[in-house]
Amino acid sequence: MDHWIIAPIVVPALVGPAIMLLMRHDLVLQRVAALVSGVLMLGLTLALLVAAAGGTVESYELGSWPAPFGIVLVLDRLSALMVTLTAALALVVLAYVIATGWDRRGRNFHAIYQFQLLGLFGAMLTGDIFNLFVFFEILLIASYGLMTHGGGRMRLRGGVQYVVYNLAGSTLFLFALGTLYAVFGSLNMADLAVRMGQLPEGDGALVRVTAALLLVVFVLKGALLPVHFWLPNTYALAPAPVAALFAVMTKVGAYSVLRVYTLVFPDTAPMIDGMIGAVLVPAAMVTLAIGMIGVLAGGTLARVAAFAAVGSMGTLFLAVAAFTPASVAAALYYLVHSTLAGAALFLIVDQVRGARGNSALTVQAPIPGGGLVAALFFASAIALAGMPPLSGFVGKLLILDAIRGQGWWVWGWALVLGTSLLAVVGLARAGSVLFWRAHDADAPKAPAGPAPAALGSAALGALLALIVALTLFAGPVMGYMQATAVQLFTPLVYVEAVLGPQAAPVAEAAAEADEATSDPGDEPAPTEEGP
């Protein structure tokens, strides 16, 4: 199975150039190639998920160059989960794009779409932190092309803002990588995990600065305050199907935090000393509050969906910040849910725009086929707001239970419950204006646009079906998430898979040394008990 690890990267890397060079003048061939690629990648990622579910960590050495000298791809439960989620979402969004004809608005849409998937899959499978930077840049370039698909002055302005923010993050990333290589002489994450325990005392300050810089980069990708400003405009102005795919892109930031700060910079290391939680907790709380206030105050459905994405990242990072196996398992469950629910809401934005010409929250003529669109909207809103009986309610309940032992749990509970109420009110207001008040006697009766495409609604229904499945199979899914969290907090298995059995004793000795050198009196408040 180890040779199949590279397949999710190779397939889009081959299909993208083939579409651009051989099929650029034939949209039908582009669609067929993209769909075949999407189905193939979903099948491959499901096979990888099944292989990873057994608990074995597998690595693939490109060119047979052993780590840490060569490029390594690593498959564990977390990376398998992320690539499978990405492949499933990408296939649904692709089907929607083809059904609604969005791909007719730009000649190179399908090629750029493949490069976007290449960046996503690569970022989730790489075992080298420099190549994480490389795949981030592939994501940046491809996402800019997708975001400006169809043209328009406002869309271009939002794209420029997005690029500027992310280029600033890339610059910080390079600074961090340079410092990291100067200290350790390696950028392989497994090798860094071993070397961290052998670090001389004099280099501790440099490592702490590097960890802080990387954290800034990752929370920027995850749209966490105060570096979240790029997301509302970017997502609101981007083509809605593209924004639906972008729902998984912000999760790459959360994935990177989980990967790097359980493996390379564990919280037990003396030079880290609880820094991650100290930064993430207040930032996540404020991000959650701002996001849901934006849902309540949004003037268009597109901005409501964009701020909902911000709020969901705040909730996700609140669980991640606790950095316990229980909280990480809850965070992973919520990650899957919020990706699907956020993408569904953006596809509904596209249906509303197509029928009304805009997504403004003003009373306009009824939408043709509005009953189906309204039903899909309210199902997505229930999921996104965290109301029973869908997976949003299950996810938030798991997060509340997981953070109960933290010193800040009262504030966390108050914010999660309070902002859920704001989300309910904001989404109910949007639905009322769009679908209910449109039938008032004084509502405009001007003819609206065409009814949403039936196949597009079917693709949207597939996302909602996945949300229902996530709810019905919450027990087995949480079992997988708990096993994933335990694996994350047992980095020796990862190190051994990448560097070989001979590296495990060294890493174990280093971990024991970290625990021995940490001063209990300087540690944060216990997390296993309530205040």
> What pLDDT score was predicted for residue 504?
55
Lowest-confidence segment of 31-40, 98-107, 460-469, 475-484 by average pLDDT: 98-107
pLDDT at 294: 92
Distance of CA 300 to the CA centre of its chain: 24
3-state SS class at 76: coil
Work out the average pLDDT over 322-335.
95
When pLDDT is averaged across residues 104-116 and rounded to a whole number, the result is 88
pLDDT > 70: what percent of the chain? 90
Per residue in 241-278, pLDDT tens? 888 988 898 899 999 999 999 998 887 777 777 788 88
Place of tokens 């100290």: 278
Tell whether the torsion through CA atoms of 187, 190, 196 and 198 is positive or negative: negative
Q: Residue 302 class from Cβ within 10 Å (0-12 exposed, 13-18 middle, 19+ buried)?
A: buried
**Could you give the 3-state DSSP secondary structure of residue 250?**
coil
pLDDT tens string 159-171: 788 888 888 889 9
Distance between CA atoms of 204 and 217, rounded to whole angstroms?
20
| 339-391 pLDDT tens trace | 999 999 999 998 888 888 788 888 887 787 778 888 999 999 999 999 999 99
- Residue 60 φ/ψ, nearest 5 degrees: -130, 125
Q: How far is CA 60 from CA 67, 125, 427, 481, 497, in A?
A: 10, 10, 45, 24, 10
**Residue 188: predicted pLDDT:** 92
User: pLDDT class for 299, splitting at 50, 70, 90?
Assistant: confident
Over residues 129-143, the pLDDT tens digits come to 999 999 999 998 998
Find the length of the chain.
Answer: 531
Round to whole Å and give the CA distance between 126 and 70. Answer: 12
Q: What's the number of CA atoms in the CB half-sphere (13 Å) around residue 374?
A: 17
The average pLDDT across 491-498 equals 90
What confidence score (pLDDT) does residue 286 get? 93
Q: Residue 279: which residues within 8 A CB-CB, separation 6 or more?
A: 212, 215, 219
For 18-40, give one letter per residue: b (16+ CB within 10 A) or e.
bbbeebeeebeebbebbeebbeb
Reply yes or no on whether the pLDDT at 176 is more than 60.
Answer: yes
| Nearest-10 Cα torsion for 294, 295, 298, 300 | 140
With residue 502 as reference, give the H or E element that holds it: none
pLDDT at residue 266 in the model: 85
Euclidean distance between CA atoms 284 and 381, whole angstroms: 22
User: Cβ–Cβ contacts within 10 Å for residue 229, how many?
Assistant: 14
Check pLDDT > 60 for residue 333: yes
Question: What confidence tens digit (pLDDT) does each residue in 42-63 have?
Answer: 999 999 999 999 989 999 988 7
Q: Using CB atoms within 10 Å of the CB of residue 318, give its burial: 0 to 12 exposed, 13 to 18 middle, 19+ buried.
A: buried
User: Can you tell me which residue has the tokens 């924004």?
Assistant: 243
Q: Identify residue 395 by its one-letter amino acid code.
A: G
Q: What is the pLDDT of residue 508?
A: 56
How does DSSP classify residue 152?
A: -
Reported confidence tier of residue 529, pLDDT bands at 50, 70, 90: very low
Task: Name residue, tokens 């509502």.
Answer: 443
pLDDT value for 523 = 41
Inform me whether the pLDDT recorded for 21 exceeds 70. Answer: yes
Backbone angles phi, psi at 58, to 5 degrees: -120, 145
Give the list of residues 6+ apart from residue 335 with CB closer than 8 angstroms, or none.
85, 251, 254, 316
DSSP, res 60: E
Per-residue pLDDT reduced to its tens digit, 196-237: 877 776 677 888 889 999 999 999 888 888 877 788 888 888
Half-sphere exposure of 255 (CA within 13 A, CB side): 29
pLDDT band, very low/low/confident/very high, at 446 (cuts 50, 70, 90): low
The span from the CA of 314 to the CA of 254, in Å, is 10
Q: Could you give the CA distance from residue 228 to residue 164 in angstroms, rounded to a whole number?
A: 13
Under the banding of pLDDT at 50, 70 and 90, the label for residue 521 is very low
Q: Span 506-521, mean pLDDT?
A: 49
Report, in this order, helix, strand and coil percent for the chain, each rounded to 5.
Answer: 75, 0, 20
pLDDT of residue 466 exceeding 60:
yes
Q: Give dist(CA 270, CA 264) in Å, integer.
A: 13
pLDDT band at 407 (very low <50, low <70, confident <90, very high): confident
**Is pLDDT above 80 for 175?**
yes
Three-class DSSP category at 201: helix
- Roughly how many angstroms between the first and final C-alpha of the chain, as a whole number? 47
